[in-house]
Structure 1
Amino acid sequence: MGVAHDHHPLTITGDRNLDAACATVTGEIARTDSKASLLLAFDGAVLAGLASVADKDLPVFTKAVGALAVLTLAAAAVLLLLVVRPCLTVPGRPAPGTFPQWAHLEENELQEAMDQDHRPARIKALSTLAVRKFRRLALAVDVILAALALLTAAAIGALV
């Protein structure tokens, strides 16, 4: 059954707002994935650099704090991987109007679904995903900053 659209100015504005909201939240998800990918590359480069000094004769303090930094960077990597990990359900079921839902529909059900306006449900589901990604991304940045502080302490310990 289709959704009737009168072309009242508020309906047109509402349609534009729904379209804009869908585009905005989809863009925000892409931004978090891009940022997480860059941070994963940074994290990996720092870990590779640390691996190159792992066999060096360093003071015990430097090795201990460096080991904590490695564990912290590993935790950040896990958080970043969770940001970029595909998530097809919110919470626990495919969001209406999205390809995960469409994959479970029979052809006739898919046609019915195409006749309905699922944008509000899609915006809600994608916004939930975006917020989850942003929170993990922010936490990963905080964890990386903590690792960098530990690395600074380890470097100072090596100089003393």
Structure 2
Amino acid sequence: MTPGSAHEALTAAHAEVKAEIARTDTKTALLLAFVGAVLAGAWTVAKDTPLTAPALVAGGLGMGLLVAAAGMLLRSVRPNLRGRHGFPLWATLTAEEITDAVVTDRAADIAGLSRLAVAKFRGLRRAVDLTCAGGALLVLAALLCAGGAA
């Protein structure tokens, strides 16, 4: 691989990883808004509805899972100011040191960003699983209320 093509490949890989982080953050923001809306809606309905004990248990567990999902989503988008690459590092360097770091450290930056992207994706995936489980429990609670199970 020629030096020019290696630089182009590194630049493309760097852009791809940054784009994946942006996509994951966008999905996280949308899911966080959805979870918040479900929590607010479920609370609004539940506070005015007489709940049976099984519905209260199922609904409480569902709400708990949704709150856990929201916490996981918030941790996923929490800024990491202790990172070795990118903005936190650049804030401590001079202009010349930034130029040197960008030119010589592109592969390490790609590796660091890739690990960050994978961690964000895992958090998002777990939050989606918790949201699905919490939603299913809320549906169960609604069915128990509608069916009048004691």
- Greater mean alpha carbon deviation, residues 126-135 or residues 79-88: 79-88
For residue 132 of structure 1, the aligned residue among 102, 113, 119 is 119
> 1:137 Cα deviation (Å)?
0.3
- Greater mean alpha carbon deviation, residues 146-155 or residues 73-82: 146-155
SS of structure 1 residue aligned to 2:79: coil
Which residue is 1:17 aligned to? 9
Counterpart check, 1:38 vs 2:30? yes
Counterpart check, 1:151 vs 2:144? no
Which residue is 1:89 aligned to? 82
Counterpart check, 1:101 vs 2:115? no
1: CA distance, partners of 2:34 / 2:97 = 46
Structure 2 gap segments, 5+ residues each:
none
Give the counterpart letter for 1:104 in structure 2. T
Counterpart check, 1:114 vs 2:99? yes
Give the TM-score normalised by the residue count of structure 1. 0.84
CA RMSD of aligned residues (A): 1.4
> 1:36 Cα deviation (Å)?
0.4
For residue 58 of structure 1, the aligned residue among 35, 51, 55 is 51
Which of the pair has the greater relative contact order for Cα pairs under 8 Å at 6+ separation? 2
- Greater mean alpha carbon deviation, residues 31-40 or residues 144-153: 144-153
CA shift digits 1:40-73 (9 cap, x unpaired): 1100110011111232212111111101111000
Contact 1:32–1:83 at 8 Å: present in 2 too?
no
Which residue is 2:19 aligned to? 27
SS of structure 2 residue aligned to 1:53: helix
2: CA distance, partners of 1:99 / 1:52 = 42
> 1:149 Cα deviation (Å)?
1.3
Give the TM-score normalised by the residue count of structure 2. 0.90
Number of equivalenced pairs: 144
Structure 1 gap segments, 5+ residues each:
1-8
> 1:139 Cα deviation (Å)?
0.3
Determine what percentage of the aligned residue pairs are the same residue.
46
Higher helix share: 2
> 1:131 Cα deviation (Å)?
0.5
Give the counterpart letter for 2:14 in structure 1. C
Which residue is 1:79 aligned to? 72
CA shift digits 1:106-142 (9 cap, x unpaired): x3xx413413421101101101100000000000000
